[in-house]
């Protein structure tokens, strides 16, 4: 597998990861691309809507294309309230999908914005049942704090509306979550370019989840590799400690003491 790093392991939900890029399974021209995307990106976590999964199907089943070593993160896409999300999560675990679950509760059909109240409600119920819950939210500090209290494993704020590829339109709000929330912040939705994923990681995000920007690219496999490299670069920059931003120029070489 390409693009893996040996240091700075990411421990979350009882698992140790070496890649901080999560990927998805939607919108590919063919699900047969998924193994190559995983390999080129180095991603170790992949999310899929449970409604797309037919455990018993021998053909045309996205699960057939997900490598065995990858951590499976089913999501509750299609849930309109907490009760529906909880039911989908329980079905996923009963079907053998493990105890990781990404909570998506969306009743808005235009911008597909998540419902923070219903998300927190579902998170609390599922966390008490032993799930590792990854809730998808607007980058709202109060909602994020309620998710901490509810027992979430991480908080997944959107960068911009899901599937839009518009980038980090909510960067300042995400920065607040990174500063204030004692859980991993995984930027999810809207990232459209590797440079935007890099920026999120430079800010201190723990990871990024990217789907549409990869699956809709002219060459998804090559784009997946670019995102893997961008996430690693951003993480390295964050750990290195970016220099201070100044208002005036400051010479990088001394202006006095020239030879002669």
Of the candidates 15, 27, 102, 248, the residue annotated as catalytic is: 102
Contact 96, 55 (CB under 8 A): yes
| Cβ neighbours for 43, distance < 8 A, ≥ 6 positions apart | 19, 21, 22, 23, 37, 70, 224, 228
Candidates 181, 174, 179; CA nearest to 191 is 174
**Of 60, 91, 57, 61, residue with least CA distance to 75:** 91
Q: Are 133 and 123 in contact (CB under 8 A)?
A: yes
The set of residues, in sequence order, having a beta carbon less than 8 Å from that of 114 and lying 6+ positions away, is: 104, 105, 106, 136, 137, 138, 158
What does the alpha-carbon distance between residue 212 and residue 225 come to, in Å, rounded to a whole number? 14
Edge-first strand order for the sheet with 186-188 is 156-157, 132-137, 100-103, 71-75, 45-49, 21-24, 207-210, 186-188
- DSSP 3-state assignment of 38? helix
Is 102 tagged catalytic? yes
What residues contact residue 52 under an 8 Å CB cut-off, 6+ apart? 25, 26, 62
What is the Cα–Cα distance from 92 to 55, expressed in whole angstroms?
10
Q: Which residues are catalytic?
A: 102
């Amino acid at each position: 597998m390409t693009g893996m790093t040996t240091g700075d392991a990411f421990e979350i939900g009882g698992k140790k990861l070496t890649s901080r890029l999560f990927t998805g399974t939607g919108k590919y021209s063919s699900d047969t691309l998924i193994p190559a995307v995983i390999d080129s990106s180095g991603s170790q976590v992949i999310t899929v809507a449970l409604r797309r999964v037919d455990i018993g199907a021998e053909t045309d089943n996205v699960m057939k294309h997900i490598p065995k070593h990858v951590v499976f993160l089913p999501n509750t896409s299609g849930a309109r309230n907490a009760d529906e999300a909880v039911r989908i999560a329980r079905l996923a675990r009963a079907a053998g999908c493990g105890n990781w679950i990404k909570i998506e509760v969306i009743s808005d059909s235009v911008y597909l914005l998540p419902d923070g109240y219903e998300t927190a409600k579902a998170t609390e119920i599922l966390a008490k049942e032993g799930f590792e819950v990854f809730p998808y939210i607007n980058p709202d500090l109060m909602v994020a704090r309620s998710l901490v209290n509810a027992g979430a494993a991480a908080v997944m704020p959107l960068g911009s509306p899901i599937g839009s590829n518009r980038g980090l339109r909510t960067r300042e709000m995400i920065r607040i979550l990174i500063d204030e929330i004692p859980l991993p912040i995984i930027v999810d939705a809207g990232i459209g370019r590797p440079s935007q994923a890099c920026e999120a990681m430079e800010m201190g995000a723990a990871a990024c989840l990217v789907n549409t920007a990869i699956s809709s690219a002219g060459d998804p496999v090559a784009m997946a590799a670019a995102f893997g490299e961008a996430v690693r670069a951003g993480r390295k920059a964050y750990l290195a400690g970016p220099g201070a931003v100044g208002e005036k120029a400051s010479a990088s070489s001394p202006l006095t003491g020239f030879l002669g």
